[in-house]
Structure 1
Amino acid sequence: MASPFHAVPGAVVEDGILRHLGNPLVEQRRLMRGEAVAPLEDRAVVAVTGPDRLAWLDSITSQAVGSLLPGQSSELLILDPHGHVEHAAGIVDDGETAWLLADAADADALATWLTRMRFRMRVEIRRAEDVVVVGASALESADLTPISPAGVPVVWRDPWPGVSLGGHGYAAGEHPGTERRWVEVLVDTSERDRIARAATAGERALAGAIAVDALRIAAWRPRWASDVDERSLPHELDWLRTAVHLSKGCYRGQETVAKVHNLGHPPRRIVAVHLDGAHSILPPPGSEVRVDGDTVGVLTSVALHVEEGPIGLAVVRRTARDGDATVDTAEGPVAARLETIVPPEAGAAASVPRLPRLSRRAASSGSSAQ
């Protein structure tokens, strides 16, 4: 499907997705300041209706959504019997419909799986083809009109990186995503077209998918389309914090989730990657990550951030040492530094008491006092 944003000056559209408008770094700044909105054409929506929808979704997913209030946002995973991530979605309910926001590449498979699991429950599942998603950092200044078929505006507020009730965060210390205020607004196609016309006329600032992804990576936020493979456990991506309730009732894959968290360790873990920007080489996702010459994992996401430079996320084996590393590219190895997100001891040691978290300001004050 052709993007309605192709006529916007400077727009670069690939596979129907607005990638950028000439300068992704400027677009990042505008997003961060709440001055731009981002058409999320790589997102899709699955609508679940019927009186049993929340209780049913609660029973088959990793998150406790049975008591989700109208307008409240959450996130859920669908796991296979061995606890591996099969599908991921944000969820917001408006009192009549549970709206699931998924990566477009996974939406059809998600809808098909949910339809197979209906049995005799009073639910209906459909791809909401008439609804599109627009992202923003500040809803108040975004000037968007969300759909509200039940009288409740349908806006998904990303819970990341907060630790939801029943969840657990492995990343310790001050989290770089704390200041991120990301929302995804569900709008109809007429509202999308209005945004496109205003942007074409120079009356509205837009940001493309490259800018959106850079801010996501800087916040250590995992994404199904980028950071998940057939072996991914939610623990490896620090996804217990927003997408898993550790003490809710039984669901597929729960036994593995509980065992890894309480008794074992995830075999792999996600790390932040800071790349050497001296040679202007941005390794593509899938590039091998090496420590002391040994391959320890792969780069899963990568971007050029307006403040941090070239950054990425990688999934590496649990015992891989953080610090100096290299990332393979066609032009040769690129120097990198790996930073802990999920620590090697995550899992069985998660219940060990931690030192209080200090803000950067408090930490610097303490250092200067010594």
Structure 2
Amino acid sequence: MHSAVAVHHDHVTDSRLTVMSAESVRPVRSAILAASAEAVPTPDDDRSPGVAWHYGDPLGEQRTASRGVAVVDRSDRSVIELAGPERLSWLHTISSQHVTDLADRRSAENLSLDLNGRIEDHFVLTDIDDVTWIDTEQFRGRALADFLTKMVFWAQVTPATRDDMAVLTLIGPDARSGPVADLLEIPADADVYAAGDLPERHHDDEPLGFWRVMPPIGEGRTTPVVDVVVPRDDLQAWWSAITAAGARPAGMWTYEALRVAAGRARLGIDTDERTIPHEADWIGDPTQQGAVHLNKGCYRGQETVSRVANIGRAPRRLVLLHLDGSADDRPTTGDAVTAGDRSVGRVGTVVDHFELGPIALALVKRTVPVDAELTAGGAAARIDDDLFVPDDTVPAGRAAQDRLRGRA
């Protein structure tokens, strides 16, 4: 089942499939969306329900995010709190990232896999003052919280959903310097996954929130990103303060366009029920801006990760597609990518970029060459060669096998 949603602005059309499974999405209208007369909301069945898709000028918003600073309301994301002295060592045993020794005020990306190594959840975690904060896609928030709760057993950790916390995202060079960075008290030398406390706004026992630096997005992965996690009751006040400091309001269209241009996958849109971490380009420790550490102890699904890393290759790979903008039949998420009459993959996010035009992420068979003539939905497509890394290395385990068999 899939649907197409078209959004028009100055002859710009974006078609995306937003429902990937039978899991329900609880639409919650953001206070920021409700307060803005210019905001155009995401469709009701979008993966980011209840927030702004754009504020009347989606391409201009992208341009500002690339060259100045824009702020995006991502308060649809689900937030979970982990408290207790064993929270990190416990999380380390049930997820793909190495987090046992995660330092205070540091973040990481992480995955929860099924027994076959297929991706169930992708989430960001930040440890501050003996509490680990997790945020994930809204449609997986309840399922992830339930899984974490069921896995506690005798560990000294208490998972709790935190509907009272919300996420804003700053995008652009001026997110790291100038008035906005000064407002949030972000040091100029803060590196990716660094985190810090927000300046105090009131004197009570509620959490004040925090900022964290995330991996850059945009062309060449050079556009800075800073998430700001705040109490939901303070969401409108922080939005007003950030925009007053010079950040331009931007919708999810901006975030998605720059994310796609960077070749960064999103759970449930660029992944399907068969996706393994290697296919989504999520391999790596925090220093590599990945979500899967290849040298850590056992966790569910590790066998598949280890086997692909050491003796095999992933059956598919994530690529960036440039689409024919003149085509009448634009692809939607879940559509087939074909080479001739042969299906070679599936379309993920489809979006219009202010410089690149219509682009999409897609999972295609590993053997598809970078210069292949492809069709995505009804549009001609070509693979972006800047983000395409040839898969011609021999895994270490396979090389060892070849040597033992006299094939080296």
1:147/1:117 CA distance change after superposition, 3 Å: farther
Q: Does 1:311 align with 2:328?
A: no
> For the residues of structure 1 that align with 2:112 and 2:324, how far apart are their CA atoms?
36
- 1:318 is aligned with what amino acid? R
Quote the residue 1:10 is aligned against: 38
Which region of structure 1 is more displaced relative to structure 2, 24-33 or 214-223?
24-33
Q: Contact between 1:79 and 1:85, CA under 8 Å: does it hold in 2?
A: yes
Percent identity of equivalent pairs: 38
Quote the residue 1:220 is aligned against: 263
Structure 1 residue 236, shift from structure 2 partner: 0.6
2:381 corresponds to which of 330, 336, 339: 336
Quote the residue 1:348 is aligned against: 395
SS of 2:305's equivalent in the other structure is helix
Structure 1 residue 114, shift from structure 2 partner: 0.4
* Unaligned segments of structure 2, at least 5 residues: 1-27, 45-49, 185-196, 285-289, 400-408
- 1:236 is aligned with what amino acid? E
Q: Contact between 1:291 and 1:321, CA under 8 Å: does it hold in 2?
A: no
Structure 1 residue 146, shift from structure 2 partner: 3.8
Q: Does 1:82 align with 2:112?
A: no
TM-score of the two chains, using structure 1 as the length reference: 0.82
- 1:6 is aligned with what amino acid? A
Structure 1 residue 156, shift from structure 2 partner: 3.0
Quote the residue 2:213 is aligned against: 157
SS of 2:358's equivalent in the other structure is strand
Q: Contact between 2:82 and 2:160, CA under 8 Å: does it hold in 1?
A: yes
Quote the residue 2:192 is aligned against: none
Quote the residue 2:374 is aligned against: 325
Q: Contact between 1:59 and 1:250, CA under 8 Å: does it hold in 2?
A: yes
> For the residues of structure 2 that align with 1:250 and 1:34, how far apart are their CA atoms?
43
1:71/1:177 CA distance change after superposition, 3 Å: farther
Matches within 5 A, 1:11-26: 11-14=39-42, 15=44, 16-26=50-60
Quote the residue 1:361 is aligned against: none
Matches within 5 A, 1:194-343: 194-195=237-238, 205-241=248-284, 242-279=290-327, 282-323=330-371, 324-328=373-377, 333-339=378-384, 341=388, 343=390
SS of 1:252's equivalent in the other structure is coil
Structure 1 residue 157, shift from structure 2 partner: 2.2
Quote the residue 1:357 is aligned against: none
> For the residues of structure 2 that align with 1:213 and 1:263, how far apart are their CA atoms?
34
- 1:12 is aligned with what amino acid? V
1:204/1:345 CA distance change after superposition, 3 Å: closer
Q: Contact between 1:95 and 1:150, CA under 8 Å: does it hold in 2?
A: no
Q: Contact between 1:266 and 1:346, CA under 8 Å: does it hold in 2?
A: no
User: What's the RMSD between the two structures over aligned residues?
Assistant: 2.9
SS of 2:134's equivalent in the other structure is strand
> For the residues of structure 1 that align with 2:394 and 2:216, how far apart are their CA atoms?
20
- 2:36 is aligned with what amino acid? V
SS of 1:37's equivalent in the other structure is strand
CA deviation digits over 1:226-276, x for unaligned, max 9? 212111110011110310110111111111101111101111111110111
Paired residues, what number?
335
